[in-house]
Amino acid sequence: MGEFEVHKGPIGVFVSPLYISLKDRTQVQGQFESREVTVKEKAWLIDYGASYAFGPWDLGKSTKLTLEPYAAGRYLHDKIKISVSPGRTHDKTIEFNTPVIGLRAHWDFDNPWFLDIFGDYGGFGGVDNVNQTWQAVGMLGYPWVIRQEVLRDLNMHSKAVTTELLSHPCSSHHSSVGIIKGVSPLAGRL
């Protein structure tokens, strides 16, 4: 499972692939004999689309809200195989690609916590033989920081020079990334 987004100003594009591989095996006792039944399923569910962000709006106490409607597609390829041993095997593949519309809401709170809620609906009564597809998701998050510290040997005595740490924050709707670069006297001891 992954979530990949790119934003240029308020315009964004995204792709969200999910791969599932399941297998189960059991013994089934019939009236006269026992049979082994194996079920295998492999599926790809991929959401992809484009969005436009409105906001952020200040809601007071350092809380900000951004709304992001999106138009997307939902692709499913689901292969199911049922084997009854000895004897039979049944294969079935379900596949569709259908349009979806949705809305995301992103709240940034005073402390670094944030909340994302989004939902969508698609299918619209029969596109690609899909009557409807929908999802509703809520995520509570906390930004994380990647820290890189470098210790430099500036002379023969291996003195560490301290410089200020520079922060270059980057953010997305689902995480916040900061990269800190610099030299610290503690770098060799961490």
Lowest mean pLDDT among 27-36, 121-130, 177-186: 177-186
SS3 content of the chain, % helix, strand, coil (to 5): 0, 65, 30
pLDDT digits (tens, 9 = 90+) for 5-43: 999 999 999 999 999 999 999 998 888 888 899 999 999
Kindly state whether residues 71 and 157 are assigned to the same domain. no
pLDDT in the model for residue 127: 78
pLDDT the model gives residue 29: 85
Q: Do residues 138 and 148 both lie within one domain?
A: no
In this structure, the answer to whether residues 122 and 188 fall within a common structural domain is no
What is this structure's pTM? 0.68
Same domain? 30 vs 109: yes
161 and 90 in a common domain: no
Whether 57 and 117 map to the same domain: the answer is: yes
The answer to whether residues 111 and 24 belong to one domain is: yes
Specify the higher pLDDT residue, 158 or 28.
28
The reply to whether 148 and 102 lie within a common domain is: no
| Separation in Å, CA 61 to CA 64, 140, 151 | 9, 18, 40
Tell me what pLDDT residue 186 has: 30
Q: Are residues 24 and 55 in the same domain?
A: yes
Q: Is residue 169 over pLDDT 70?
A: no
SS3 assignment, position 60: coil
Contact 5, 172 (CB under 8 A): yes
Is residue 21 within 8 A of residue 42, CB to CB? The reply is yes
pLDDT of residue 146: 55
Hey, how many other C-beta atoms are within 10 angstroms of the C-beta on 122? Answer: 22
Q: Is the pLDDT of residue 178 over 50?
A: no
- The CATH number assigned to the domain holding 119 equals 2.40.160
- My answer on whether 62 and 153 are in the same domain is no
Q: Mapping DSSP to helix (H, G, I), strand (E, B) and coil, where does residue 168 land?
A: strand
Note the pLDDT tens digit of each residue in 34-87: 889 999 999 999 999 999 999 999 988 888 999 999 999 999 999 999 999 888
Long-range contacts of 125-132 (CB under 8 A, 24+ apart): 127/98, 127/99, 128/96, 128/97, 128/98, 129/96, 130/96, 130/98
Average pLDDT over residues 110-127: 87
Range with lowest mean pLDDT among 47-51, 67-71, 118-122, 165-169? 165-169
| pLDDT computed for residue 147 by the predictor | 52
Residues 116 and 171 in one domain: no
Number of separate domains in the chain: 2
Residues 103, 164 within the same domain:
no
Q: What is the DSSP string of 70-126?
A: EEEEEEEEEEEEEEEETTEEEEEEEEEEEEEEEEEEEEE-SSS-EEEEEEEEE-TTT
Q: Which residue has the higher pLDDT, 124 or 171?
A: 124
Domain span including residue 165: 144-190
Q: Which pLDDT does position 39 carry in this prediction?
A: 95
Q: Position 80: which residue type?
A: I
Helix (H, G, I), strand (E, B) or coil at 146: strand
